[in-house]
Every structure is written in C-alpha cells, then in structure tokens.
Chains A and B, each alone.
Chain A
Amino acid sequence: MMRRLIPHPLLSVTLVLFWLALVNTLTLGHVILGIVFGIGIPMITAPYWPDRPKISNPLKIAEYTLVVLWDIVVANIQVATIILFRRNEDIRTHWIPVPLDLTSAEAITVLAGTITMTPGTVSATLAADGSCILVHCLDTDDPDAVRDEIKSRYEQRLKEIFQ
C-alpha cells in the first residue's frame, strides 16, 4: 500500500523542497501544495521508473557533491588556462575508454554528468552493453592517469552511494 502510494520517497521529498524553492516563500499553503505535487507526480510517473535505486549512504552524497563542486572550480581554471595560453597545435586531445564497474542506470548517468562537468573531460557515449564509457579529454599527457582518476575519485564514491 505504502509502496503504491509513495513509490519514490526521496523523489517526493525533493519535489516538495523544489516547489518551496521555486515559489521562494515558506507558507503553509505552499507546503500543502508541494506535498500534493510530491505525492501526485511520483504516482503518475511510477510506471516509467519501476525500480527505485537503492541509496545506502545519504551522507556520502554530500561528500560527493562537495568533491565535484571543488573539481568544477579547478576544472574551470584549468580549461581557461588551456584556452587562453596554449597554442592549438600543442593541445593533446585524447579519446579515453573507461571500463565501468557500476551497473545501475542512475549511477552511470550521474557519473557521465560528473565527467562532463569536471576537468577537461566530456563523456561522449557508452558501450552498447553499458560496461564502458567513452570520454573525450581536452588536454592530457597521460590518458591512463585520467582513466584511473575517474575510477578512483568518482566511480568509487558512486559505488558506495548506489549499493
């Protein structure tokens, strides 16, 4: 019964908070309206999202967010330096295949998004069976080091979150 009514509890909470953030005020009326959305939308969309991802350690999400935010700041500075001070001929771009240990679709999506947002890398595509992700790296001496960093810095943390 509970499972039918609230198929994705975290999504419901997110939607309520999101509604409050959108209206930018905290009144009882908007909290109630937010709860209506928080229960209604997951019920309507539940058929399209049958299995809820298991999140074992919510605290790790905060840690992951901070790591990624920091990396985005560093990435911006690195990419800006490359664009401004490097001649086009000296930029060594590489395609890097990164084998994945993650299996859940949600985790791979988060990883792909993170790769795109961080230091000089864009995730381009997945292998057809989802076991490997193709990353385009703007400038690196050592493609293997980039691959190992993605695996140890992001994938390892995501594995701890989605398990």
Chain B
Amino acid sequence: MPFIAELLIAIMLVISGVFGFVGSYGLIKLKDPMQRLHAPTKATTLGIGGVLIASMMYFVVKTGQISVHELVITLFLFLTAPITANFIAKAFMARNLKAGDLPKSGTDYGWSVYSDPPGQERSDS
C-alpha cells in the first residue's frame, strides 16, 4: 500500500477518534440534559464518518473495488440520529418542563408535547 494512502487513512482514523472522544467527553462535562444531547448527536457524526471514509479508502486501495456499505451506514445514521435526539428531547420536555418554561410558539396552538392538534382538543384537560 502506498505511503500516501496509509497516511490519509491514518489521518482520518485519528480525526474520527478525536471527535468520538470529544462527543463522549461532552456527554459527561455538560450539565443540562438538553445540552448533553448536543454532544453525541453532533460530535460523533464526524467521528463515525471518519472511520467510514478511512474504511472506504482502505478497500479501494487494497482491493481496487469501491465498497458502498459505508455509504449505507452513513445514510442509516443520518436517518436515525435526529429521530433518537428528537425522542430524547421530547421525553425530557414531557417529564421535566412545563409549557410555561418554553418560548411561545407564536401561533394559536402550543407545542405538541403539551397541546393537542387542531380539531382534537380534549375537553377534560
């Protein structure tokens, strides 16, 4: 394997390691659960992305074939990471916050965690 390829792959692995570490570190360093949500959802996308790019480069140089599994992993990550973050955020809001703690939505209806959608308002609440 040529030196340049080894160097590039090594750099990508180091970058991904650093970002993976920062993401995990942020998880324990930040204080508020909503702040903590930022660390893993973002700092780890580049962490995992780096490993995947390194893996693609390795297989291109080693076997001469393009491996697309890495792209599929990236796609799955982009589909699942925001949904996970959204669910954690909603669970946190439902358990720990009141509607009054948040800024107003600026429409006739409140945030969906606390209010019912138009036409489905409960009479007992």
Q: Please indicate the chain B residues that have their CB under 8 angstroms from the CB of A128 in the complex.
A: 109-112, 115-118
The answer, yes or no, to whether B106 is at the interface (CB within 8 Å) is yes
The answer, yes or no, to whether A99 is at the interface (CB within 8 Å) is yes
In contact, A116 and B85 (Cβ under 8 angstroms) = yes
Contact of A80 among B22, B41, B109 (CB under 8 A): B22
The answer, yes or no, to whether B124 is at the interface (CB within 8 Å) is no
Q: Please indicate the chain A residues that have their CB under 8 angstroms from the CB of B41 in the complex.
A: 116-117, 122
Residues of A contacting B: mostly: mixed
In contact, B107 and A91 (Cβ under 8 angstroms) = no
Q: Which of A72-105 contact B (CB under 8 A)?
A: 72-73, 75-76, 79-80, 83-84, 88, 91, 93, 95-97, 99
Task: Tell me the bound Cα distance from A79 to B22 in angstroms.
Answer: 9
In contact, B109 and A99 (Cβ under 8 angstroms) = no
Classify chain B: how many residues form its interface, as a range. Answer: 35 or more
Q: Mark B94-125, 1 if CB is under 8 A from A, else 0.
A: 00000000111111111111011110000000
In contact, B69 and A79 (Cβ under 8 angstroms) = no
Q: Please indicate the chain B residues that have their CB under 8 angstroms from the CB of A97 in the complex.
A: 103-106
In contact, B46 and A73 (Cβ under 8 angstroms) = yes
Task: Tell me the bound Cα distance from A112 to B109 in angstroms.
Answer: 19
In contact, B42 and A79 (Cβ under 8 angstroms) = yes
* Segment touching B, from A17-25, A31-39, A41-49: A17-25
Q: Mark B8-35, 1 if CB is under 8 A from A, else 0.
A: 0000000000110010011001111011
The answer, yes or no, to whether B93 is at the interface (CB within 8 Å) is yes
The answer, yes or no, to whether A7 is at the interface (CB within 8 Å) is no
The number of A-B residue pairs with CB atoms under 8 Å apart is 140
Q: Mark A124-148, 1 if CB is under 8 A from B, else 0.
A: 1111111110101010000000000
The answer, yes or no, to whether A123 is at the interface (CB within 8 Å) is yes
In contact, B89 and A80 (Cβ under 8 angstroms) = no
In contact, B90 and A124 (Cβ under 8 angstroms) = yes
Min distance, Cβ A140 to any Cβ of chain B, angstroms:
12
Most buried by B among A76, A120, A130: A76
Top 9 nearest A-B pairs (CB, nearest first) are A116-B82, A83-B26, A128-B109, A76-B46, A127-B105, A113-B82, A124-B89, A128-B115, A129-B109
Which residues of A approach B to under 8 Å, CB–CB?
18, 20-22, 24, 72-73, 75-76, 79-80, 83-84, 88, 91, 93, 95-97, 99, 112-113, 115-117, 120, 122-132, 134, 136, 138
- 17 CB-based A-B contacts, threshold 8 Å: A21-B68, A24-B67, A24-B69, A72-B46, A91-B30, A91-B35, A113-B82, A117-B45, A117-B81, A117-B82, A120-B38, A125-B90, A125-B93, A127-B110, A128-B110, A128-B118, A136-B34
